[in-house]
Amino acid sequence: MNEYSTTDWYRIALEQLTGVALAVQRQDELDLEALSALATGIADALKKTDQLLVQAMSGPAGPPLITNLVNVAILATKVGTGLGYHGKELEQLTFAGLLHDIGLFAVPQSVITKSSRLTQDERTLIEQHPELGYEAVRKAGPKYDWLAQVVRQAHERWNGQGYPNKLKGRQISEYAQIIGVVDVFDALVSPRGYRRRFFPHETVVGLPTWYLGTIDHWRSRVCHARQYALSTSPCRVDRGGCGSWPGGAAARSEPHPTRINHRNTGASRRCTRSVSSG
């Protein structure tokens, strides 16, 4: 697969993940070897140029759920690089990003695309998708048990308010924590039927401390790695923290990042915050 150019990888990823979506809907076994090779190609491409990152933050390229899988893989890879990941560890993070939400393809699409408030039954359906994705990956054999666990944990949150198992703190895989943060970032920079897309500079200052809890070391590591990797504007943040999260409690309450309802938050005004020390 090394003959592909950097700009080809996005298209290839969309095509392969469309096949994955169909396999999940049909309950077929997934071809994870091909996806592993795809992850290696994306990680290698991002070592050479940021063209894939530009594509990920430029707007829609395909069906929203498929595009989100590709974008999260790219964004997570950049953040992982900022955290010092390399080699197999970085490729595993890319791989997990590509598959983090595959369980959504086993959920009725009418629920996923619904623009109005979900009923409790509908919320329950969506919150089952990490388990559905976990089961789909597990079918590929014990070699991918680590991947199944990351898929299962991608919506857990440090404070225990995620799902499906209410894990807390370091019970959650580091891969899953990174993916959870960039998943929300991608949701905000992607257009939705009920709001415009937000530009990267409007959201990059908003790494949510509610995701990462009160462990200053980890929060600082991810915050600054994400800020370095994904900021495409001269926005600055306080060195000691990550700022407030655009959308506040309304954004935090959504059952899945693809449904974040983010309106008139004034995020761009927070772009002028000064560095507080050093």
Q: Cis link prior to 64 (omega < 30° from 0)?
A: no
pLDDT of residue 246: 39
pLDDT of residue 190: 73
**Segment (H or E) for 123:** helix 120-127
Residues linked to residue 192 through DSSP beta bridges, in sequence order: 195
205 DSSP 8-state letter: G
Q: What is the number of structural domains in the chain?
A: 1
Q: Is residue 250 part of a domain?
A: yes
Q: What is the mean pLDDT of each run of 10 residues along the chain (278 residues)?
A: 76 96 94 96 94 84 91 94 93 98 94 88 94 96 97 91 90 92 83 65 52 43 55 36 37 51 34 27
pLDDT of residue 199: 67
Q: Is residue 277 part of a domain?
A: no
Residue 223: name the closest of 211, 234, 232, 156 by CA: 211
Domain containing 47 — which CATH number?
A: 1.10.3210.10
267: its two tokens: 């995020």
Cα–Cα distances in angstroms (integers) from residue 212 to residues 66, 77, 133, 192, in the given order? 26, 19, 23, 26
pLDDT of residue 109: 87
Q: Is residue 39 part of a domain?
A: yes
Q: Is residue 86 part of a domain?
A: yes
The domain of 58 spans 6-272
Cα–Cα distances in angstroms (integers) from residue 116 to residues 38, 168, 169, 223, in the given order? 36, 30, 32, 32
